[in-house]
Amino acid sequence: MIKFLDLKAINAAYENELKEACARVIDSGWYIMGNELEQFESKFADYCGTKYAVGVANGLDALILVLRAWKELGKLSEGDEVIVPANTYIASILAITENKLVPVLVEPDIETYNLTKEGIEAAITPRTKAVLPVHLYGLISPMSEIMQIAKEYNLLVLEDCAQAHGAMTGGKKAGNWGDAAGFSFYPGKNLGALGDAGAITTNDDTLYQALVALRNYGSHKKYENKYQGVNSRLDEIQAAMLSVKLNYLDSETEHRRKLSSVYLEGISNPKITLPKCFNSDAHVWHLFVVRCKNRLDFSEYLVKQGVQTLVHYPTPPHKQEAYESYTDLNLPITETIHREVISLPMGPTLSLEDAKKIVEIINCY
Ligand SMILES: *Cc1c(COP(=O)(O)O)cnc(C)c1O
């Protein structure tokens, strides 16, 4: 069986370095908010090209805390509308509603699965205060256009970079376009910890100060609390794991790009719709997502042929019980996407030979 993703193999490649880093943290006697976190934050900010990175407990918290900070700083208030793609992973929307803001679900482009300039413009109302573009599956959104609209309508931009570490457009990386960005280092993400972890990137000093306090009980100074904050810190152990793995992110992305070329150039079955990528820097191929009208039949065929697939995602957020009040929205593109998408094996340890085998199997379907 060709696995969809082999997490054990991914980390086994760096076993010695990870164990050394782990031992260093154990021996240090310091486990939260220490050197490992500082070093990782500075390395990750350098990687993204931003002034700051703030480590937090996970990707959802990263998004929640940015919106929360904007509320504390008077830039957002309850009831403000936030534009978000309707086909995103539900976490992007949870971050909005957790802050008592109103998600405005906008249809994505069927070819890129991301927000478009036109979609955003049509959704803007006098209550719109922010846009939350999601670089879904690893493809960066049209950020230069989005920033232009944001400037025109005075909107805040929060990038959801959970799937797009290192994706780039116009020479600038994901996480360095918006006013702030949230990253996830969930183990299966392109940069994955060995547990939960996340980070926020920004170039804004005031926002940075607020975030550093909010993630640590709202404390800006030991035993002094400016905000009613939360505990959402990135552990020393995970920061140490991430510093090791960040060194290999670009070479892993290169491998993902090679795999995607094998798929894109090889798959010629008319029953399968391939993803579009107009510029190789723009996509880091967190997932290789194709569409098939009869997804169930296709996935069963692949399993019989020894290929494991997954669906990202089977149910759109507005059809989830959690968002019952959104269920009647008319979102035909989003619903088509959720009905037809299927993700092929993709990851730094999948071999090009296996990808070629998968191509042959798909072309015989
Ligand atoms: C994974 C993911 C998140 C949430 O990250 P966690 O670290 O799992 O909390 C948010 N948005 C998107 C698009 C994701 O894929």
* Mean pLDDT of each 10-residue bin along the chain, 365 residues long: 96 98 98 98 98 98 98 98 98 98 98 98 98 98 98 98 98 98 98 98 98 97 95 98 98 98 98 91 98 98 98 97 96 98 98 98 98
**Residue nearest to ligand 1 atom 7, measured at CA:** 59
How far apart are the C-alpha atoms of 62 and 201, rounded to whole Å? 9
Centre of ligand 1 to C-alpha 219, Å, is 26
Residues 6+ apart with CB under 8 A from 180: 66, 157, 158, 159, 200, 201, 202, 204, 207
How far apart are the C-alpha atoms of 59 and 56, rounded to whole Å? 8
Considering only CA atoms, which of 336, 290, 339, 283 is closest in space to residue 135?
283
C-alpha torsion sign, points 17, 19, 22, 28: negative
How far apart are the C-alpha atoms of 170 and 73, rounded to whole Å? 30
**What is the predicted pLDDT for the residue at 277?**
79
Pocket residue to mutate for ligand 1, from 88, 137, 161, 186, most atoms within 8 A of Cβ: 186
**Residue nearest to ligand 1 atom 2, measured at CA:** 162
Pocket residue to mutate for ligand 1, from 5, 163, 232, 313, most atoms within 8 A of Cβ: 163
Contact indicator for 87, 334 with CB cutoff of 8 Å: yes
What is the reported pTM? 0.98
Considering only CA atoms, which of 61, 288, 44 is closest in space to residue 176?
44
How far apart are the C-alpha atoms of 23 and 88, rounded to whole Å? 38
Considering only CA atoms, which of 238, 218, 234, 236 is closest in space to residue 226?
218
Give how far Cα 270 sits from Cα of 93, 134, 365, Å.
34, 29, 10
Radius of gyration of the chain (CA): 20
Q: Token match 């993204």: residue?
A: 48
Contact indicator for 216, 153 with CB cutoff of 8 Å: no
**What is the predicted pLDDT for the residue at 278?**
78
How far apart are the C-alpha atoms of 201 and 51, rounded to whole Å? 8
Centre of ligand 1 to C-alpha 203, Å, is 22
Tokens at 261, concatenated: 């070329």
**What is the predicted pLDDT for the residue at 332?**
98
Most distant pair of Cα atoms in the chain: their distance? 66
How far apart are the C-alpha atoms of 337 and 312, rounded to whole Å? 9
Is residue 1 packed enough to be buried (19+ CB in 10 Å), middle (13-18) or exposed (0-12)? Answer: exposed
Ligand 1 atom nearest residue 185's Cα: 7
**What is the predicted pLDDT for the residue at 131?**
98
Contact indicator for 84, 93 with CB cutoff of 8 Å: yes
Centre of ligand 1 to C-alpha 353, Å, is 30
CB of 202 sitting under 6 A from ligand 1 = no
What are the φ and ψ backbone dihedral angles of 183, each rounded to 5 degrees? Answer: -120, 145
Pocket residue to mutate for ligand 1, from 184, 233, 238, 313, most atoms within 8 A of Cβ: 184
C-alpha torsion sign, points 32, 36, 40, 41: positive
- Report the side by side order of strands in the sheet with 52-56: 52-56, 198-202, 180-184, 156-160, 128-131, 81-85, 102-106
CB of 163 sitting under 6 A from ligand 1 = yes
CB of 103 sitting under 6 A from ligand 1 = no
CB of 137 sitting under 6 A from ligand 1 = no
How far apart are the C-alpha atoms of 89 and 69, rounded to whole Å? 22
What are the φ and ψ backbone dihedral angles of 155, each rounded to 5 degrees? Answer: -110, 145
CB of 88 sitting under 6 A from ligand 1 = yes
CB of 162 sitting under 6 A from ligand 1 = yes
How far apart are the C-alpha atoms of 56 and 307, rounded to whole Å? 35
How far apart are the C-alpha atoms of 282 and 227, rounded to whole Å? 38
**What is the predicted pLDDT for the residue at 152?**
98
CB of 346 sitting under 6 A from ligand 1 = no
